[in-house]
Structure 1
Amino acid sequence: MRVPFDLPLQTGLVPRFLITIVGTVNPNPSRFSLDFKKGHEVAFHFNPRFNEDNRQVIVCNSMIQNNWGKEERTAPRFPFEAGKPFKIHVLCETDHFKVAVNDAHLLQFNYRLKNLNEITKLSIAGDISLTSVTPAMI
């Protein structure tokens, strides 16, 4: 699957909607991102950065009316490695996104855009190759 990759979410998001993303981090990566979008707005930006000021960090944010909000950098660890496979689960809960990587909980991000059904696209970009992107209800 080519990156950048867009997954249309025809009916929008709902609680208990799960997206599983399987892929491999490229050699010598800089960053990659998952963006859950409502039109041009970004409801949830998940952005692992491999070398920001000589540190590895995961930045989460949203962009509403062309303005980025306050960055959240609270992930307790950085579970991605250059050249290694990964599996990301993003689960929509009633008031937040829950993210797990390689079957271990990583972080949650409270909804800033409240109308989940209006979030109709997942865009994936950056220094990864994708094996699969699978939506499901659980």
Structure 2
Amino acid sequence: MARMTVLHLKVNFESRTIVLNSRVDDSWGEKRQANFPEQRPFGPGHDFKIVILCDRDAFRLTFNDIHQMDYKYQIEDLRSFKWLEVWSALQASVQRM
């Protein structure tokens, strides 16, 4: 069975970047990268909040309540995914709405 990752979000504190990607049919797509938000503290030693909204055509990501970036869906039927995995998080609160 082919493995799929609808959204892979990597936060790199050293380079101060956020990388997004998807894996469809066992193949990773093209990475999308952005710099950390400058408006509020974001990094080790600071509390921060990441919100991922599943909108009509893309994931909308906000960091500390400020829109940061969008990531267009790489699959057709997002409703077929029913779970979320969070890796390497010290403390996470996940709310499905």
TM category, shorter? 0.7 to 0.9
Aligned to 1:134: 95
d(CA) in 2 for partners of 1:131, 1:124: 8
How far did 1:130 drift? 1.8
Relative to the length of structure 2, the TM-score reads: 0.85
Relative to the length of structure 1, the TM-score reads: 0.61
Aligned to 2:26: 66
d(CA) in 1 for partners of 2:49, 2:28: 27
d(CA) in 1 for partners of 2:92, 2:62: 17
How far did 1:40 drift? 3.1
**Which amino acid letter does the alignment assign opposite residue 78 of structure 1?**
F
How far did 1:131 drift? 4.4
Classify the secondary structure of the residue corresponding to 1:109. Answer: strand
Q: State the identity %.
A: 30
2:36 paired residue among 70, 75, 78: 78
Classify the secondary structure of the residue corresponding to 2:45. Answer: coil
- Larger RCO (CA within 8 A; separation ≥ 6): 1
The runs of at least 4 consecutive aligned structure 1 residues that moved more than 3 Å come to none
Instruction: Please identify which structure carries the higher strand content.
Output: 1
How big is each residue's C-alpha offset from its partner over 1:102-130, in whole Å with a ceiling of 9 and x where there is no partner? 1100110000011011122211111x322
**Unaligned runs of at least 5 residues, structure 1:** 1-38
- Count residues with an aligned counterpart: 92
Aligned to 2:74: 112
**Which amino acid letter does the alignment assign opposite residue 47 of structure 1?**
K
